[in-house]
C-alpha cells in the first residue's frame, strides 16, 4: 500500500487518537488500541538499561502471559527517569483503561514517548484516556498514528492482506519515530494488529523474528531510547482455520511486509534526512560479523555525511567496516553503490565509476553493498544521511 492509502478495518479492533494538552506545541497526544476481548499479544522492547516506567510494566505482564485487551499511549512525555511517581502513573494509566473496559489492569499495555525526566501531567492523561476510549472506532487507525507522533513530520500507517488457513488475513499497523533510532531498539513505538487466528505460543517467536528484520534493522543516528516498544496483537477473527505449519510462515511474511514498510517509513522521515539507503553487508564469515559491519557502516557520521553530499567516498565505507570488529580482508572487499562497482580486488575503479555512483546517490533511495568475500552471511540495515537539519532539530528539541 502507499502511505496515503486508507487501511481496512481489522476485525476485533478499534482505535482512537485525541488531544489532551500534553504536548507543548499542541496536537493529538493520547491514543488507544482496543480489542473486543483479550487477545494474543507479543512484544519486543528496548534493551537500554535506562528503562521507562511503562516499559518495565508492560514487559513484565507480557512475560507472565502473552495476552492483552488494549494498548494506551501518550506522546509528549516519556515517563522515564521519574522514580516511584512514574511507576504509579504507568499503573494508573493501565487501571483507568481497564476500568473502562471491565478487564484487569494487567491486560493493558502502556506506552509513553517524549521528553525524558518530566512527570506526567496526570490530570490531562486521565481526561485523554477517557476521551480516547469514547472515540475508539474500527476506522480510527490514522487518528491513532497522528496521536503517537513526536518529532515525526507525518503519520506512518501501513496494511496488507494475504490468503492463509483457508481465509483472508488482514494486518495493519502504525508507528512513530524519526530520531534516536538504532537497533535493539530505537526511539520508536510500533504497533501491528491482525485478525489472524494464531496461538500465543506461535505469535511470540514470529514477532521477535519479524522485529529482528524490520524495526531492529534500521538506524538514523546510532542512539537508542528508554521507551522503545513494538507490539503485535492478533484477534483471531479472520475466516478460516487456526494457522499451523506453512500458514504460520505466511503470517510471518505478512507481518514482516507491514512492519518492514513501517520501519522504512521511519528512516524516510528521519530527522533532517534526504536519503533512504539500504546498506547491505554480504559475504561475511558469520551472521554476527555481517551485523557488526552493517551497524558500524550504517551509523558512521563520515559515511552519513558523504551520503548527504552525494559523495561516493568508498574509502569511508571500507574504513568503517574495518573498525567494526568483523573479520575482513581488504583485498577481498567489493563496494557497490547501486549497481556500480566502485572498488574491488583492492583497486579503485576510477573517475568514470565514481561519476556513475554519484548519479545513483542523487536519487532519494538507493543501495550500498559491501561484499566481504569471506562467507555466505548477509545483513541489511536501512539508514539515512546526516544533514544540518538533524543538528537543528535536536538542538532545539526541549527549547
Give the residue numbers annotated as catalytic, written as ranges: 187
Residue with cell 540495515: 381
Q: From the CB of residue 249, how many other CB atoms can be counted at a distance below 10 Å?
A: 12
Q: From the CB of residue 64, how many other CB atoms can be counted at a distance below 10 Å?
A: 8
What does the CA dihedral 290, 295, 301, 306 come to, rounded to 10 degrees?
50
Backbone angles phi, psi at 119, to 5 degrees: -65, 150
d(CA 349, CA 339): 13
Backbone angles phi, psi at 355, to 5 degrees: -65, -40
For residue 305, how far is the Cα from the chain centroid? 23
Bridge partners of residue 277, in order along the sequence: 366, 383
Q: Specify the DSSP element, H or E, that contains 304.
A: helix 301-308
How far from 318 is each of 311, 313, 325, 334, 362, CA to CA, in Å? 14, 9, 12, 9, 21
d(CA 309, CA 298): 16
First CA to last CA distance, the chain: 37
Asked if residue 162 lies in contact with residue 253, where contact means CB atoms within 8 angstroms, the answer is yes
Let me know the angle formed at the C-alpha of 51 by 45 and 57, rounded to the nearest 5 degrees: 70
d(CA 293, CA 279): 10
Nearest of 14, 15, 27, 82 to residue 53 by alpha carbon: 82
Q: At 93, is the secondary structure helix, strand, or coil?
A: helix
DSSP 167-233: EEEEEEEEEE-SSS--SS--S-EEEEEE-----HHHHHHHHHHHHHHTTTSB-SSS---S--EEEEE
Amino acid at each position: 500500500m502507499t502511505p496515503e492509502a486508507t487501511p481496512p478495518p481489522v476485525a476485533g479492533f478499534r482505535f482512537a487518537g485525541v488531544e489532551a494538552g500534553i504536548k507543548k506545541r499542541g496536537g493529538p497526544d493520547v491514543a488507544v488500541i482496543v480489542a473486543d476481548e483479550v487477545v494474543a499479544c507479543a512484544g519486543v522492547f528496548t534493551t537500554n538499561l535506562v528503562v521507562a516506567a511503562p516499559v518495565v510494566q508492560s514487559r513484565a505482564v507480557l512475560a507472565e502471559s502473552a495476552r492483552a485487551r488494549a494498548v494506551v499511549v501518550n506522546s509528549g512525555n516519556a515517563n522515564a527517569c521519574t522514580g516511584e511517581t512514574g511507576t504509579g502513573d504507568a499503573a494508573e494509566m493501565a487501571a483507568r483503561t481497564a476500568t473502562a473496559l471491565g478487564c484487569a489492569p494487567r491486560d493493558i499495555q502502556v506506552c509513553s514517548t517524549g521528553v525524558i525526566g518530566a512527570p506526567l501531567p496526570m490530570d490531562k492523561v486521565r481526561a485523554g484516556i477517557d476521551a480516547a476510549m469514547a472515540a475508539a472506532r474500527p476506522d480510527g487507525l490514522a487518528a491513532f498514528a497522528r496521536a503517537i507522533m513526536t518529532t515525526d513530520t507525518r503519520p506512518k500507517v501501513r496494511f496488507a492482506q494475504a490468503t492463509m488457513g483457508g481465509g483472508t488475513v488482514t494486518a495493519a499497523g502504525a508507528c512513530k519515530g524519526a530520531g534516536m533510532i538504532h537497533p535493539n531498539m530505537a526511539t520508536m513505538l510500533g504497533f501491528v494488529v491482525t485478525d489472524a487466528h494464531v496461538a500465543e505460543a506461535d505469535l511470540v517467536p514470529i514477532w521477535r523474528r519479524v522485529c529482528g528484520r524490520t524495526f531492529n534493522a534500521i538506524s538514523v543516528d546510532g542512539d537508542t531510547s528508554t521507551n522503545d516498544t513494538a507490539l503485535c496483537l492478533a484477534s483471531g477473527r479472520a475466516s478460516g482455520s487456526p494457522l499451523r505449519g506453512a500458514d504460520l510462515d505466511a503470517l510471518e511474511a505478512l507481518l514482516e511486509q507491514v512492519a518492514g514498510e513501517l520501519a522504512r517509513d521511519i528512516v524516510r522521515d528521519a530527522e533532517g534526512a534526504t536519503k533512504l539507503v539500504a546498506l547491505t553487508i554480504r559475504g561475511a564469515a558469520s551472521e554476527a560479523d555481517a551485523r557488526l559491519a552493517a551497524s558500524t557502516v550504517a551509523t558512521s557520521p563520515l559515511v552519513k555525511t558523504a551520503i548527504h553530499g552525494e559523495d561516493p567516498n568508498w574509502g569511508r565505507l571500507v574504513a568503517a567496516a574495518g573498525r567494526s570488529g568483523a573479520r575482513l580482508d581488504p583485498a577481498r572487499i567489493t563496494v557497490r553503490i547501486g549497481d556500480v562497482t566502485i572498488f574491488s580486488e583492492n583497486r579503485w575503479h576510477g573517475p568514470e565509476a565514481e561519476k556513475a555512483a554519484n548519479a545513483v546517490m542523487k536519487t532519494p533511495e538507493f543501495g550500498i553493498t559491501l561484499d566481504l568475500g569471506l562467507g555466505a552471511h548477509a545483513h541489511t540495515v536501512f539508514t539515512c544521511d546526516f544533514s544540518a537539519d538533524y543538528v537543528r532539530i535536536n538542538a532545539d528539541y526541549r527549547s
